[in-house]
Amino acid sequence: MLQDRCARAAKAWGLTREIVLVGSGEPVFLPGHQDQTYPFRAHAEYMWLADREKPGCVLAYDPKEGWTDFVPAVTEAQRVWEGASGAEGVPAEGLAKWLRKRAKRPVAVLGARVKGVRSDAALAKRLREGLLAARRPKDAEELSRMRAAARATAAGFARAVAMIRPGATERAIEIEIEAEFFRNGAQRTAYDTIVGSGPNSGVLHFMPTGRAAREGELVLVDAGAEVSGYACDVTRTYPAGGAFTPEQKDVFAVVDEARRNGIERCRKGVEWRDVHLGACLDIARGLAGMGILRGTAEGLLEQDAQALFFPHGIGHMVGLGVRDAGGALPGRRKSRKPGIRYLRVDLPLEAGFVMTVEPGIYFIPALLKNEEKRKQYRDTVVWDRVDRMLDFGGIRLEDNVLVTEKGPEVLTASIPHAR
Ligand code: GLY
Ligand code: MN
Ligand code: MN
């Protein structure tokens, strides 16, 4: 367990007599596949405090005595099948006795559930908020892993750039980018690699297929390496044949401007919703400039017209996993206002936060052929222009930005863009 993070969590909680348990979790079996399990991932709250990916572990906190690190004994089967050796910590059988000694005191279970223990839901909710707040600013070790993940990711993208050409399949690009991640220190991909060519570039989370990119098409690559639990999450969009068409170039310029402005807005004290709304305005203005939307940026945002082409948030917290400790400040409810309805993060930025900034413009038939929307935006969208672009696909550009006292630092700046 990591003493300094455990101390930070305890300080955030300020407890006097309540008990906290943080479970790592149990393996999840693949339904119908006998003894096969999904790859085990410890609960992020446990991982942050203990830095250990092992099932069946519990960190226990008593404000009067501090932390106890319960770890299950290594079984003979684990020694035989996995080569496991002695475990650190206190034998997990001791947890029941530890709890009996503290009966009658309120217990909050964070992390994964702990078998046989009832959690006080209201207390757990309050403590989870405190833990989230403690987790959000990255410490030196976390940043060092994230920089290592960014280096492996950069190596993968360099390889992708070298091989993207008409005839290269989405799957072949995926295989090479991932192999290069692993050669450069990644233990895993941070999420399922996205490679979409042509119209597939407009599917937000497209799974690569055997489709080969063609001259004149876009190739969108959204991929990231993971190092010791820490993720990188990067998107670049390239022209399959080495040069954008004039129309692709115009859309790229709008998205790139939204990306640059979004990075610039990643400063201490800035509300994340304002980073998002700024990008919505940039995109609305850009689409109006291209003759795809009609009106002022503010007027278009009022109607949420940009969301037809930019239907996701500007980004999310990244770090311990691709979706790190985001969320909203306590007491903040989800807004129903256009433009921010789907925002997953709603808080002011602080030094040490790492955010993705990922604007995109997509021509998604599922949205743009919808008759209701066509009626609603009859006068706002230049539909005959849009109809000619339904197989355009999409352009997304994504970087990982560290908020520092001095301003934004882009951890993924070395990853090449289309020239
Ligand atoms: N890689 C998925 C995302 O950007 O959210
Ligand atoms: Mn991504
Ligand atoms: Mn992302």
- The rounded radius of gyration (Å) of the Cα atoms in the chain is 24
Q: Which residues contact 364 (CB under 8 A, 6 or more apart)?
A: 202, 203, 311, 394
pLDDT (0 to 100) of residue 208: 98
Residues 99, 137: contact at Cβ < 8 Å?
no
Number of Cα atoms under 13 Å in the Cβ half of residue 405: 0
Closest ligand to the CA of 236: 2
Residue type, 357: V
Within 13 A of 188's CA, how many CA atoms are on the CB side? 14
| Structure token pair of residue 263 | 């990075």
Q: Say how many C-beta atoms besides its own lie within 10 A of residue 176's C-beta.
A: 17
CA of 234 to the centre of ligand 2 (A): 5
Q: Say how many Å lie between the CA of residue 129 and the centre of ligand 3.
A: 23
Q: Residue 222 CA: which ligand 1 atom is closest?
A: 1
> Per the structure block, which two tokens stand in for 183?
């050669």
Distance 66 CA to ligand 3 centre (A): 37
Nearest to 392 by CA among 268, 244, 277: 244
pLDDT at 57: 97
Tokens of 358: 């990922």
The pLDDT value recorded for residue 337 is 76
Q: How far apart are CA 24 and CA 45, in angstroms?
A: 8
Q: Which residues contact 325 (CB under 8 A, 6 or more apart)?
A: 44, 132, 135, 136, 317, 319
Q: Which residue has the least CA distance to atom 4 on ligand 1?
A: 233
The answer to whether 2 touches 53, Cβ cutoff 8 Å, is no
Give the mutation target among 276, 398, 412 for probing the ligand 1 site: most ligand atoms within 8 A of CB: 398
Residue 142 tokens, joined? 């976390």
Cα–Cα distances in Å, from 336 out to 4, 298, 373? 39, 17, 18
Q: Is 274 exposed, middle or buried (0-12, 13-18, 19+ CB in 10 A)?
A: middle
Residue nearest to atom 3 of ligand 1 (CA): 233
Expressed in angstroms and rounded, the spacing between residue 316 Cα and the centre of ligand 2 is: 10
Q: Which atom of ligand 1 is nearest to the CA of 224?
A: 1
Q: Which single residue is written with the structure tokens 């000694």? A: 101
Q: Give the three-class secondary structure for 118.
A: coil
Per-residue pLDDT of the chain (419 residues; tens, 9 = 90+): 799 999 999 999 999 999 999 999 999 999 999 999 999 999 999 999 999 999 999 999 999 999 999 999 999 999 999 898 876 899 999 999 999 999 999 999 999 999 999 999 999 999 999 999 999 999 999 999 999 999 999 999 999 999 999 999 999 999 999 999 999 999 999 999 999 999 999 999 999 999 999 999 999 999 999 999 999 999 999 999 989 999 999 999 999 999 999 999 999 999 999 999 999 999 999 999 999 999 999 999 999 999 999 999 999 999 999 999 988 998 888 887 777 877 889 999 999 999 999 999 999 999 999 999 999 999 999 999 999 999 999 999 999 999 999 999 999 999 999 97
Strand bridging mode 327-328 / 354-357: unpaired
Q: Read off the amino acid at residue 306.
A: Q
Centre of ligand 2 to C-alpha 384, Å, is 31
Atom number, ligand 1, closest to the C-alpha of residue 356? 4
Which residues, judged by CB distance below 6 Å to any ligand atom, belong to the binding site of ligand 1? 191, 222, 233, 322, 358, 398
Write down the pLDDT at residue 336.
78
Please tell me the predicted confidence (pLDDT) of residue 330. Answer: 85
Q: What is the pLDDT of residues 321-379, one digit of tens each?
A: 999 998 899 888 888 777 787 788 999 999 999 999 999 999 999 999 999 999 999 99
- Strands across the sheet with 234-239, in order? 194-197, 218-223, 234-239
Q: 332 is written with which tokens?
A: 């903040």
pLDDT of residue 84: 86
- Cα angle for residues 52, 403, 341 (degrees, 5° grid): 90
Residues 255, 224: Cα–Cα separation, whole Å: 20
Tens of pLDDT, residues 367-398: 999 999 999 999 999 999 999 999 999 999 99
Which DSSP string corresponds to 352-365? T-EEEE--EEE--H
What is the bridge-based pairing of β-strands 234-239 and 218-223?
antiparallel
Under a CB-based contact definition with an 8 Å cutoff, are residues 358 and 315 in contact?
A: yes
